[in-house]
Amino acid sequence: MIKTKRFKYPSKELFNILMLRYTKKRWWLFAWIWVLTIIMIVVDSQDSFNYFLMGFSIVFPVLLVIQTWRYVNSNSNKLLLLERYYEIDNDKINGIIDEDTHSTIKLEHFIKVEFIRNTYLLFIAKNQFVYIPVDSFESIEDRKWFESEIINKIKK
């Protein structure tokens, strides 16, 4: 069993991770919108659809950023930003916020792992994950054990 250091994830970092995840997942959508917009700008005849598409290509990313920022900073998600540490065992991960607030998740409930911005994202649902920063491990050996035992089990 290993224990991580106490860490608190700043809302800015969580926002960056969520935006990066969304962009990686849907890069093709942004590329498609911008390519169409460039084509519409180059075309000689301008009509209302061209103006709509150009406006949409500007408004859509702005709305996405606002929506993600509101999610991260919402009162209902304050639990995500509280200081915590993890006790990691061969078959479970126990997240501890304080002596009265903790959660235990068996490894069999994790469905996938992503590594973004020096953070492990361990997913228990499509958009619900446990995040563990690389620098929260006490030692390099703890991190290697985590990768070999926990990450490999989840990936299988």
pLDDT tens for residues 62-86? 999 999 999 999 988 888 888 999 9
> For the domain that residue 128 is a member of, what is the CATH number?
2.30.29.30
CA-CA-CA-CA torsion for 20, 101, 74, 127, nearest 10 degrees? 40
pLDDT tens per residue across span 101-134: 889 999 999 999 999 888 999 999 988 889 999 9
Are 121 and 136 found together in one domain? yes
Are 110 and 144 found together in one domain? yes
Domain that holds residue 104: 2-7+82-155
Return the structure tokens found at 50: 């061209």
The number of domains in the chain is 2
Are 57 and 109 found together in one domain? no
pTM of the model: 0.79
Return the structure tokens found at 89: 């065992």
